[in-house]
Structure 1
């Protein structure tokens, strides 16, 4: 999400308590947030849910935005976290349903995208990584999902550049082990 300077200024003003700036900021970022969520979640309704959660999180937490990094970097992290939270919530709800609550029909394989399935596999692998090695997951999300460069990842995490590169490499190896060679398509 590359945001223009006006949006960055709105974010700084909103962080200082300007409610008008916050409203305008949310209006401006909504399409980008939805697009970013759609890259992570394969179904439009799920992406919309994550997008709304992201906008709510921005509205609630804008005061925590300190302006040390660009707002777009902060927004990437909030968006990725909300998308992953939405995914975990959907997965948990699906697991809670008993088999008699589920309809007899299965998903039509002709209508289920290979890309969607790959994204779900990747989210499962990311969830496993986060549970096992959260510091690696955080670096990988910033680099491969939020598409920050290595310097930005290091700055955002407050770690040396070499440590950021090492964590990203280790995280990719972990995810690759979970997914097999499929992960090469995502990086």
Structure 2
């Protein structure tokens, strides 16, 4: 996948130049990776305006924290994590701001839309709730699990991104899945 016609090596080079303080490179980089960041955010937040808010936060974080990209893996892998974390933060913020539902109302139960349904959960909300629960007691499992099962990154890419040995990452994903199964769709 290319970003605005730029290949992975060109994206990495722009990121290195941006780290070195090149403002033009940073602006070009942000414009080039915005579609990718938006796609990651839409993976968590299917409502486009919410995903766009999360994407904007992700790009602000990229600009502010580009120095924390260590250059060992692809910049786009690091971007994936930043965007995913921004989307999850947006979801948490929206959840806190939500008004309580009136239990006396009997709204029709809607079936999940297959275009917005997670592969490993009944809905994206099921998945986000499960990740929130797991994160409270086992935060080390959440990021590798989401990167593998939601975003489809390879085990090797995840290991580079989180800075852990490949075997550790595989074990974290395995244990994360074991913790997630009973939380998804009521343990069915």
What's the TM-score bracket when you normalise by the shorter of the two chains? 0.7 to 0.9
**Please, what TM-score do these two structures have when normalized by structure 2?**
0.83
- In 2, the alpha carbon distance for the partners of 1:11 and 1:169 equals 32
Higher helix share: 1
Alignment of 1:166-181 (within 5 A): 166-180=171-185
Deviation of 1:152 (Å): 2.0
Runs (5+) with no aligned partner, structure 1: none
| Structure 2 residue matching 1:152: 3-state secondary structure | helix
Q: Is residue 141–residue 173 contact of structure 2 (8 Å, CA) maintained in 1? A: yes
- In 2, the alpha carbon distance for the partners of 1:106 and 1:165 equals 42
2:43 — aligned with what?
39
Deviations along 1:61-104, one digit per CA (max 9) or x if unpaired, are 1122221221011101101100100001100111xx3669xxx8
1:124 — aligned with what?
129
The question of 1:109 aligning with 2:110 is answered: yes
Deviates more, 1:1-10 or 1:14-23: 1-10
2:12 — aligned with what?
8
| Structure 2 residue matching 1:39: 3-state secondary structure | helix
**Please, what TM-score do these two structures have when normalized by structure 1?**
0.83
Deviation of 1:21 (Å): 0.3
Runs of 4+ aligned residues of structure 1 deviating over 4 Å after TM superposition are 104-108, 180-183
Runs (5+) with no aligned partner, structure 2: none
Change in Cα spacing, 1:98 to 1:178, as seen in structure 2 (3 Å) is closer
> Residue 143 of structure 1 is aligned with which of 133, 148, 157?
148
Deviation of 1:141 (Å): 2.1
Deviation of 1:182 (Å): 8.2
Change in Cα spacing, 1:106 to 1:16, as seen in structure 2 (3 Å) is farther
